[in-house]
Chain A
Amino acid sequence: MNALLLAAENTVSGNIGAIGYGLAALGPGIGLGIIFGQGVQAIARQPEMTNVIRQNMLLGFAVTEALALIGFVVPFVHS
């Protein structure tokens, strides 16, 4: 068991920025799921409002994805 841990310590290498991005992607992932899920539901309930709904859906998508994109860029900036 101890030897296994030591072996893992010696071989696992990488950038901690990858883990950071994984964490940063959690929130926007949930947010995007909510936005598009509710958006599709709204379109299904009122198909005649499709254009307005899609417009607002994409605007909300743009704001939510900002967090994931910042998480993507920060490791490059700090490396």
Chain B
Amino acid sequence: MNPHRRHPFIRVATILVYFFLYAPILVLVLYSFNASRTNILFAGFIPSFGALQMGGSTVVQSPCGPFHWFCELSRNREVGLAARNTLTIAFISTFISTIIGTMAALAIQRYNFRLKSFSQLSLYVPIVIPEIVMGIGILTLFSQLFGILNGAFGLEGDSRLSLGLGTVIVSHIAFSVPFVTLVVQARLQGFDKSFEEAAMDLGANELITFWRVTFPMILPGVLSGALLAFTLSLDDFVITFFTTGPGATTLPIYVYGLLRRIITPQVNALSTVWIAIVLTVVFLLQRLQSREAK
């Protein structure tokens, strides 16, 4: 018997894994071109410049053809606002959490200090505790803190500290830092100290050594960490739900709100765009990393 022949089970299992991973996404994308408004049944593609079936029998012209729901989406100002919020939060929280997480990883890797194992362990806690617990915790913290601060400084009206973009960003940084630290730490594990010693030996001080040698060498790890933080921030719902305020609605929160009212293929169109963006970003970063590795 050929020892390299694979058991047929392996093929079946592989197909099943990919099916369950991608079938829902494919259905979701398909439904964003649905001619039916209710999104329960697939009523065929929207005909180009043809009739659009509304509910049961209503027929409407669509100037966008099959991309009707995408056009609807682009006219939706609420979605635009939510997308802007989501991206603002994701970029700021990724940037800050990547810096903090990388510094933490370097400190843990390099130095021996008191409470080292404690601080290392405490990094894992936000990863393992349920998000909802963390969300409630952060909410309680903010409301207590803001209550005290508003009282102490006599802040009134618009100047009162309240939940909003700022609180969402802070909470996103809080849950992203441990992930960044773990990813960067894994990269640092195989980092030979003699690279830094060589740089210093050749006349580079600590700062130059970091920017010219250490950072470029750990950059792929830092980028992976940043990518993880970015995607975590993009699709976070639970913690955002607790820490968001008026005017700080993010896409997941917005979609959730839509679903409570009516499910239209607009939600699917939104999700399709979202998936396309995330896939592009991931793909670009992967390319960047594989070039780094060469």
**A and B held together in a complex:** no
Q: Chain B interface (Cβ within 8 Å of chain A)?
A: none
Q: Chain A interface (Cβ within 8 Å of chain B)?
A: none
